[in-house]
Amino acid sequence: MEFLRDEANAADSREESKILEISLRCIVKASDWDRFTFYARPVRSFKDGHVSRERSVVYDILATTFQHGTIFPRLEILDWFSIDLAVFHHVYLFLSPGITSFHINFDFAPNSPIFAILPGKLPRLKHISICGFSGFIPNSTISQFICVLRDLETLVIGARNLDLQAFEHLSRLPRLRYLLLMSTEVPPLSPRPTDVPSFRALRVFECESVAAAPMFLQRTGRSLVEFRIFVRCRGTCPTKRNLEELYAALGSSCTHTLLEKITVQSPPNAQPINPAQLELYVVSGDDLRKLFCFRNLVHVSLEHIVAVDMDDAVAVDMARAWPCIEVLASLCDTTHRITPRMTLEGVSAFAQHCPLLRRLSILFDATVVPKSKLPSGGTKQPRVTRFSQDRLTLLNVTYSSIGTKKQEWRRVAEFLRLIFPKLDEVRAADAQALAMRKAWKEVSDELL
C-alpha cells in the first residue's frame, strides 16, 4: 500500500509529497487499531494499484473493523486502479465524504454498482477520471452518474460512455475547466444553440481522434486556452484531409486571442504507408496557414506521419504570425521522408520575428548557407542584415539535409551561432543516416 504524506501547504500536491510505505510485520492486535486510526486521520491521499495476496487479506481485516465508517476520514484524493477482483470492492472502505478527486479503473469489475452510490458518498467531487476500455459498463450507467454532478472541474472519461444527455449536461457546467475524452468513438452531438453558452469555463480540451475533433471543437472551442490530441494506441494515421479539417475547425471554432497551446500527436507505431499513397498524408505549409490567426500562441507541437511540406515563404509568415511562441515543433516519422524545401533563410525568420522562442524542431535544407556579410574578395554582393535572438537553446533538425564536408558543417554552425547566439544543442533524428548524424553532431560541437 502507498500513502502520501500530508505536507504543510501542499496537501493536494502529490508530486511534492513523499510516498510512505507501510508493511505489516506481525499479527495485528486489537490494541493496535487505536494506533492505526491515530495515523489514519491526517492522510489526505491514497493510491491502490498493486497486486498481492497479502493486500487482499489486509483489506478483508480492515473491512471487518471499519463496517460503519471509512479508514481515512479526511481523505481528499483517491486513486483506485486495482486490477484484482478480490480487492476492487474494498474501494467502499475509502469513500470519505471529503474526497474531491477520484480516479478509478472499472475494467476488472464490470458488475460493480459503485457509480450508483458515488454521488451520495462523495458530495464534494470536483475531479474525476474514469478509465476502462472494455465497455463493460453500459453508457446509461456512467451517463446517469455524470448528470448528477454539478461542481465538476476536471473530467477524464471514455467518449463511448457519454450519451447525448450527459454531454449536454457537461456543456452547461459552470466550472468544468478540463475535459479529456478517451477512445476514438464519439457520442451523438446536437448543434450548439446560438443563444445558449456552451462549455463557457472550459480551458483545456483533449481527445484521441483527429477525425472526431472538429465535431467537438464546434461545441468546446470558444473558451479554450489549450487543445491537445494524444493518440495513445496503434492505428491508422490521420490523412492530409483529416488534418486540414482539424486545423480549419481550430481556426473557425476557437477564439483567436485566447488559444495559447496546440498539440497534435500521431499514433505510436502507426501502420506503414504505401509509398504510392504518400501524397495523401503530406500536409502542406498552406494548410498550416489556418492557424496563423492565433496571435498569442506560446506552444505549438504538430506531429505528423510525414513532415510538413513548407517553404521559406510559409516559414516567414509563420514566424510573423506567432510573435509570442516559446516552443515550436513540427515533428514527423523518419520512415516516410520528403525533400525539404525550407532553407536556412526560413530558419532565420524565427530569429527575426520570435524573440521568446526557446526550442525549435523543424525540417529544412542546410546544404546552402545564406550570405550574411560581404565576401573577403572578388565581386561584392549586397550585405544581408541578420537578426539574432538570444533565447533559443535547442534546435531539433529531425532529418534535415546538410553538406558532406567539414567546411560546410562549420559554415552551418557559424550561421546558426550568428542568428541564435545562445544555441548550445543541435539534435538529429535517431533514424538519420550515420553520415548525417555525424555532420549534425559536428555542428552541435562547433557551437560549444
Highest mean pLDDT among 117-121, 243-247, 427-431: 243-247
Bridging pattern class, strands 299-304 and 261-265 = parallel
Is residue 61 a part of any domain in this protein?
A: yes
Is residue 415 a part of any domain in this protein?
A: yes
C-alpha cell read off for 64:
471487518
Residue that is last in its domain, among 51, 75, 98: 98
The label of the residue with cell 556579410 reads: 373
Q: What is the predicted pLDDT for the residue at 198?
A: 86
Phi, psi of 286 (to 5 degrees): -65, -30
Residue that is last in its domain, among 98, 114, 129: 98
Question: 42-46, 195-199, 289-293, 368-372: which has the minimum mean pLDDT?
Answer: 195-199
Q: How far apart are CA 278 and CA 120, in angstroms?
A: 54
Q: How far apart are CA 311 and CA 303, in angstroms?
A: 18
More confident residue, 410 or 158: 410
More confident residue, 153 or 43: 153
Mean pLDDT value of segment 216-241 = 85
The label of the residue with cell 510512505 reads: 20
More confident residue, 405 or 64: 405
Is residue 139 a part of any domain in this protein?
A: no
- What is the end-to-end Cα distance of the chain in Å, rounded? 48
Q: How far apart are CA 432 and CA 429, in angstroms?
A: 5
Residue that is last in its domain, among 98, 124, 153: 98
Whether the CA torsion 348, 349, 350, 355 is positive or negative: it is positive
Mean pLDDT value of segment 25-30 = 68
Q: How far apart are CA 163 and CA 185, in angstroms?
A: 11
pTM for the model stands at 0.84
Contact assessment for residue 93 and residue 67, using Cβ atoms and an 8 Å cutoff: no
Q: How many domains does the chain have?
A: 2
CATH number at residue 302: 3.80.10
Owning domain of residue 431: 281-372+386-448
Q: Is the pLDDT of residue 251 over 90?
A: yes
Is residue 118 a part of any domain in this protein?
A: no
Bridging pattern class, strands 425-427 and 101-105 = unpaired
Q: How far apart are CA 313 and CA 259, in angstroms?
A: 24
Is residue 153 a part of any domain in this protein?
A: no
Is residue 408 a part of any domain in this protein?
A: yes
Q: Chain-wide mean pLDDT for the chain?
A: 83
Q: How far apart are CA 166 and CA 399, in angstroms?
A: 46
Q: What pLDDT band is residue 14 in, cutting at 50, 70 and 90?
A: very low
The label of the residue with cell 490523412 reads: 239
Closest CA to 254 of 228, 281, 284: 228
Q: What is the predicted pLDDT for the residue at 4?
A: 45
Bridging pattern class, strands 261-265 and 154-158 = unpaired
Q: What pLDDT band is residue 427 in, cutting at 50, 70 and 90?
A: very high
Annotate 291-353 with DSSP letters as a single string: GTT-TT--EEEEEESS--B--HHHHHHHHHH-TT-SEEEEEE-SSS------BHHHHHHHHHH
